[in-house]
Structure formats: structure tokens, C-alpha cells
Amino acid sequence: MSPLLINFAYVISAALFIFGLKMLSSPATARRGNLLSALGMFIAIIFTLMAQGLDYKWILLGMAIGTGIGIVAAVKVEMTSMPEMVALFNGFGGISSLLLAWAEYHQHPEMSVFIAIVAFLSAFIGGVTFTGSMVAFGKLAGKITQKAVVFKGQHIINAAILATAVIAAVLFCMTPQSGAGYALFILIILVALGFGVTSTIPIGGADMPVVISLLNSYSGIAACAAGFVISNNILIVAGALVGASGMILTNIMCKAMNRSLSNVLFSGFGTTTAGQGDSDGPQGEVRPASAEDVYYILEAADSVVFVPGYGLAVAQAQHVVKELGDLLEANDTEVSYAIHPVAGRMPGHMNVLLAEANVPYDQLVEMDDINPRMDTIDVCVVIGANDVVNPAALDDESSPIYGMPIIETQRAKTVIVLKRSMNPGFAGIQNALFFAENARMYFGDAKASIQALVAEFKSD
């Protein structure tokens, strides 16, 4: 196959990646953008394999296996498990870059200094991404503790690991073709795998949205470096796009939490919050409400805003929430859904859940758009959200979350909070909203609680 045809196919793939990425920025076009990007990757893979002289039978076999795995994952994996799946995808991307750089070095150890440098970057960043993503997966899936795990001398250990990696990299790049060079490359891989664990384990569950977007960026950077190793232009372009977009998204996530990236990575957030700011104990009188009480409040409302959180995902309540929203609209009530940037366990988690329930895109409202008109809202229904609606972020300077932008539900005329119990959220602090004069606590499983409200409306 001629290089001209291959490069032409790569240009088409790159254009599809860029247009697809652009379309992902809006819920209305995200699905089409995903399909465009998938088409671009399909073209890139086919032409790359054909350029390597691979027989079409092996290409079809690989496509069949990959498609089968994708179909099973799409059908079997629940929407509540999407964050874990994204973490796995990030990890697979990282280990792929590591193995690609390793294979290329194993076959062609006589490489230039530049190729040796990018091979190191691909292997090291890929290894960190893989084990870091596995730790993130374990935290998200509840297989390991979701709390930040910190220990004495942790920063010193991480600094020593990085120093070892840098020294090994310098020595490796000087003599990659020697036996010592190969041993150094294996050392770099082992150090990278260890650093992925030690750098991710201190990060608590509350910071998982940031971690996932950062690991996504790492996987792109590793892929970009791998593209230089094997001189593949489309891999360089695709990796650069993923790396850059992941970094931008990570920055957006940090701003949404009013925290720096270094604070997320190194503070061990969630280990020392008890007793700071808001107390874990009672802060006032809780006003519980029954399904009938909440029904009468909603039935009389002219405007209702649902504020979803991770509790919505756990209860898989998105479909019954949509059903309740339809009943409210039939009752001439204006319905909208306010989305906090870091609600859930990954960027856009709530958008994905509500899209699955076919909630209209124009009813999804971002935090910055809903807050200015919160005073005019009759009822805010908070479903499983906690820290992202905690007023302590606005008025308690001693609170660990002080300064974090929140959805200001406390300014609505009435707030209905759906929770299983009074347990605090991932920040480990009590929520003053639960004790506000205009707040009513509707205890129970979110899905069962909403179903009870639906039944009240249908029986009226």
C-alpha cells in the first residue's frame, strides 16, 4: 500500500477525531461525535494493519474479537458502573502504550537518543496509567477502601521513586542497545507500575472525577509518545488530542472543586476532615417528610429542579425520576435538572445517566446557569447529592470544602433531600442543608422513594 494513500487515510481519521471531539462538548451532539470518532479509529486501525502487511483474515479476526468484547461490555455493564469501566479503559490504554514501546525496543534496541526518550516516556507514563487506573477501579468498585490512604514518609517515597525513574531513564537513553540498557528498561517499567499505585492510593473517592480525567490524559500522552516510537502519525495525533482534552477537563474539574491539581494529588483529602468545619454530629432539627407530604409540596409547585448525585446512580433511579418529571410537566410544572460538574464518580456521570433515561437535553442545566435563578425555584429535589449542595462551601471558612462552587439549593423556597440516612458524603462532613428551615428530609432508597411519589400522582 502506498504511503500517500496511508497518509490520506490518516488525515481523514484525524479530521474525524477532531470533529467528533468537538461534538462531544454538547449533549445534543455527543452520540454522533462518538460515532464519528469511532469511525476515525476504525479507518486508522485498518490502514495501519494493512500497511504492516497483515493478512486481512487476521484483521477480521481481531475486529471480531474486539467487537464481541465491546458488545458484551455495552450490554452487561450497568450505567452505575460506567466510572469503573472508564477507569479500566484508561488502564488498558496505558498498558497498550507500555507494551508497544517494549516490543519495539525489544525488536530494535539500536535506537537514537530521541526514540529512547519517547520509549521511556511511553513505558513510564503507560505503566503509571495502568496501575493508577486499576487502583481507581478498585476504589470506584468498592473492592478497596474509597478513603485516602496515607502513610508516614509517603511524599519522600514517591520522590525517591521518581528520582529512580529519572536516573534510570538517563542511563538507559545513553546506551539503550546494551544489556544494561535492557535491564534499566525493565527497571523503569517496574518503577512505573509501583508509582501508579503509590500516587493514586492517597486520593480519596471524592476526587475520583479529577483522577479519572487525569488518567485519561496520561493514557493519551503515553499513546502520543508510543506514536513517535513506531513513527505512526495518527497515533501521535490521537494521543495528543486525548492528552490535551484530558488536561483541559482536569483543569475544569479542579476549578469546579476550587482546588489545585497538586492539592488533589498530594493532600490526602478525606483523611483529616473529621472535626474540621462542619461537625459530624447533629447541627439542628431534622424535618422528615413522608411520600404524601412530598407529593403535596410537588403538586403545588410551579417549578421543580432535580439535583442528581451519586445516590441516584447507586439506586438506579434515573428512569423513575424521568417518569416523575413527566407527571410534573403534565401538572403544568416547569421541570429542569441541575448538574454539578463533579457530581458522581466521573466527568459527565449524571449527564450519562439522565441521557439513558431520555431526559431532554434542554432540561439539563449547568450549575452556573441555575444558581442565578435559584431564588425563583419553588422546589429543589436533591437526590443522593451531598457535598455539591453543602452551604458550608459558601459560609464556613473552617470547612474543608470552603470555596468550592456548589448548586445553591438552600436558596430555593423548599428543598426536598432524598437520602438513605444522615451519613456525610465523601468529604466526611455533615451537610448544613439538611437542617435548614426550608429543607425536608425524605429518607429511603431513592428509587423506592420516587416510585412512591409516582404512585401518589397516579392515584390522584
Q: Give residue for cell 464519528.
A: 36
3-state secondary structure of 415: strand
Beta-bridge partners for 420 = none
Sign of the dihedral through C-alpha 438, 444, 445, 447: negative
Specify the DSSP class assigned to residue 288: B
Specify the DSSP class assigned to residue 374: G
The answer to whether the CB of 252 falls within 8 A of the CB of 348 is no
Catalytic residue (choose from 362, 369, 387, 396): 387
**Distance of alpha carbon 272 from alpha carbon 429, whole angstroms:** 10
- Enter the C-alpha cell of residue 410: 438552600
- Enter the C-alpha cell of residue 169: 531513564
User: Does residue 55 carry a catalytic annotation?
Assistant: no
3-state secondary structure of 417: strand
- Residue 255: which of 36, 104, 51, 405 has the closest Cα? 405
Q: Give residue for cell 453543602.
A: 390
**Distance of alpha carbon 328 from alpha carbon 316, whole angstroms:** 20
**Distance of alpha carbon 57 from alpha carbon 50, whole angstroms:** 11
Per-residue burial over 110-137, b = 16 or more CB atoms within 10 Å of its CB, e = otherwise: ebeeebbbbbbbbbbbbbbbbbbbbbbb
- Enter the C-alpha cell of residue 250: 482536569
DSSP output for 46-93: HHHHHHTT--HHHHHHHHHHHHHHHHHHHHHS-GGGHHHHHHHHHHHH
* Residue 252, burial from CB neighbour count under 10 angstroms (0-12, 13-18, 19+): middle
SS (H, E, C) 176-244: CCCHHHHHHHHHHHHHHHHHHHHHHCCCCHHHHHHHHHHHHHHHHHHHHHHHHHCCCHHHHHHHHHHHH
CA atoms within 13 A on the CB side of 187: 19
Residues carrying an active site annotation: 387
